[in-house]
Amino acid sequence: SSELTQDPAVSVALGQSVTITCQGDSLRRYSASWYQQKPGQAPELVMYGKNTRPSGIPDRFSGSTSGNTVSLTISGAQADDEADYFCNSRDSSGDHVVFGGGTKLTVL
C-alpha cells in the first residue's frame, strides 16, 4: 500500500469546481507534485511545489497544502479534465519517491 492516500474516484459536474486530495504523514515535511494521465497516454505534470503550474497548464488548476494533506483544485472543470490524477512526494524516511494510488476524475 502507498504511503500517500487518494480517493479512488471523484466526480464533478461540468463547469463546477472539484478538489482532489492526497494524504500522508510525509506531506508535513515534503511538498508534492500532481500528474494528469489520460487513457493510453503518459502522465503529465500539472502542479508542483505548494502551488506552481508548469508552463501550458491552465490557471483553473491550483494547489494547496494543509497539515498532512495536499489538494489539487480544478475551478470550472472541463470535459478535457476527465482523467486519472496522481500525487507524488517522498516517503516518511525522505529517501524515496512515492506515488499516491490515483484518483479517477469523471466530469459529468
Partner 1 sequence: QLQLQESGPGLVKPSETLSLTCTVSGVSIRNNNYYWGWIRQPPGKGLEWIGHLYYPGSTYYSPSLRSRVTISIDTSKNQFSLKLISVTAADTAVYYCARLWLAAGSDAFDFWGQGTKVAVS
CB of 92 to partner 1, least distance (A): 12
The answer to the question of residue 42 lying near partner 1 (CB under 8 A) is yes
10 Å CB burial of residue 43 (0-12, 13-18, 19+) is middle
**Would you say 60 or 98 has its CB closer to partner 1?**
98
How does 52-73 read in b/e, with b if 16+ C-beta sit within 10 Å?
ebeeeeeeebebebeeeebbbb
Q: Which of residues 64-103 bind partner 1 (CB under 8 A)?
A: 86, 88-90, 95-102
**Number of residues in contact with partner 1 under rule CB under 8 A:** 27
> Quick count: other Cβ atoms within 10 Å of Cβ 11?
13
5, 7, 43, 73: residue in contact with partner 1 (rule CB under 8 A): 43
**Would you say 56 or 79 has its CB closer to partner 1?**
56
* Cα dihedral value 20, 23, 26, 28, nearest 10: 80
The answer to the question of residue 7 lying near partner 1 (CB under 8 A) is no
Chain residues binding partner 1 by CB under 8 A are: 2, 30-33, 35, 42-45, 48-50, 52, 54, 86, 88-90, 95-102
